[in-house]
Amino acid sequence: MQKRLVLASRSPRRQELLNQVGISFSVRKANIDESEITAHHPIEKVKQLAVLKGKSVPFKHNEVILSADTVVAHKQKIFEKPINKVDAYQMISQLSGDVHDVFTGVMIRSVNDEIVFAERTKVEFWPLSVKEIEKYAATNEPYDKAGAYGIQSLGAIFVKRIIGDYYNVVGLPISRVVKELRKFGVDLQW
C-alpha cells in the first residue's frame, strides 16, 4: 500500500523538487524553536534541525514525514539566512573567490521507522567585485536563502563549479531522498 508523504516544510524550493519528480505530498509546517539546537558543526546542526522539524509534525499511521534543513558553511562558520542587506553583503563577500560547503540534513519517518542523513556539496564562487555584491544584496533574492544566495536563480552567476549534488544546494538532495522514500512505501507517480 502506497503511503502518503507529508512535507514538514513550506520551502517553495523543496516543494518544487518533489513536484519535479512526480511525488504527491501535502504540507504541514513544522513549528520549532531553533534555539533548542546546540550543535555548532554544520553536519550535526542540519541533522538536528531536520529531526526537530520532523518530530514536531503529527502524522497518521499511513503517512511518512519528510523534513529537511540546509545551511551554508565557510571555514566551519555556518551561514544561515541573512537578516539584512549588510549581513547578505558580508556573506557573499566571504564566499567570493573561495570554496564553501552546503549541507542539507534530512529526516524521513513513519510510525515504524526513521532515517536521518546529511548530504554535502562543495561550491566554488568566482571572485566577485564590490559592485556585483552590492547590486545583488540590494535585490530581494538573498533574504530567504541560507548563505544569502540561490543557485537556482540569480545566485547562479556567482558559481564557478560544484562538486556533489546540485539539488542539495537548492535545498533537497532529491535523488537520495527518492531512494530512501521508496523504503518507506512512497514512490513516484509514474
Cα distance between residue 89 and residue 169, in whole Å: 19
φ and ψ at residue 67, rounded to 5 degrees:
-130, 155
Nine cell digits for residue 32: 520549532
Q: Which of 33, 69, 98, 144 is catalytic?
A: 69
E-state strands within the chain = 4-7, 25-27, 63-74, 77-79, 99-109, 114-125, 159-163
**H or E element, residue 15:** helix 12-20
Decide: helix, strand or coil at residue 142: helix
Residue 57's nearest CA partner among 93, 121, 5 is 5
With 0-12 / 13-18 / 19 or more C-beta atoms within 10 angstroms meaning exposed / middle / buried, residue 19 is exposed
Is 69 noted as a catalytic residue in this protein?
yes
Active-site annotation, residues: 69
